[in-house]
Amino acid sequence: MGGSQKEIYSQAKHFMQDQEANFTYIKGDEVNQIRSVLNDPACFKGNRIQQLKTTLDELQTAVDQKVQEVRTQAIASLKTMQSRMQSMDDYQKLPEARTAELDAPYKELIDDISQQKLIAVINDRMRYFEEQGYQTLLAKMVEMARPKPAREPEAGGEPEPKVAEPQIEYISTRKISVTFDKAWLADESDVDDYLQKLREALLEEIAAGKRIQI
């Protein structure tokens, strides 16, 4: 091959290598069609390279749209979590310097996701933040808002014994197991039953001194 045929073949080969990790999330048969052409020693015959270009354009569009969709959903989830944090009384008690410190990780992650081209990486970073990073920020916010004792012991006096604050455990709703014997909800009765089981599971965690991240 030479000229435009060679260029199209090269573009397709490089795109398939660079975007392979995203193909799991793409519907349609374009990936198999392109692989079939690239693996055919006689692909230069007839109009197969022209067809390859059309299929490649369709796949590139599908990948770009899916990546943008996942980015948009991830950023919307981050902004929702940030908004919930900002609505808390503990957050609103803090000075601007402290709230900026709490808000910074959201901006950093949003900026990173906005540039990320691999869907699996976006999902992994979101999963890590939802399961660990968000809980860490909420705990940090509570600690920042907690009043600090200002009394100093009198000269020659014994310092007052410090009382250890109980450590609060934050857990995600994803980690709460709901005992339910059906795989899906099919009617109003199922919904009522499931909500009752969910309520019991949530109250059990709260009774154990935990706070539930939503």
Tell me the per-residue pLDDT of 25-49, one tens digit each, with 9 for 90 and over: 999 899 999 999 988 888 788 888 8
Q: In this prediction, what percent of the chain has a pLDDT beyond 70? A: 90
Asked if residue 156 has pLDDT above 90, the reply is no
Closest CA to 211 of 167, 170, 166: 170
Whether residue 142 sits in one domain with residue 189: no
With residue 107 as reference, give the H or E element that holds it: helix 96-115
pLDDT of residue 57: 95
Full domain range(s) for residue 197: 164-214
Question: Whole-prediction pTM value?
Answer: 0.76
Band the pLDDT of 155: cuts 50, 70, 90: low
Whether residue 136 sits in one domain with residue 36: yes
Asked if residue 163 has pLDDT above 50, the reply is no
How many angstroms separate the CA atoms of 152 and 165, rounded?
Answer: 19
Whether residue 121 sits in one domain with residue 45: yes
pLDDT of residue 126: 95
Whether residue 168 sits in one domain with residue 139: no
How many separate domains does the chain show? 2
Within a domain: 36? yes
Residues 86-100: pLDDT tens digits?
A: 999 999 999 999 999
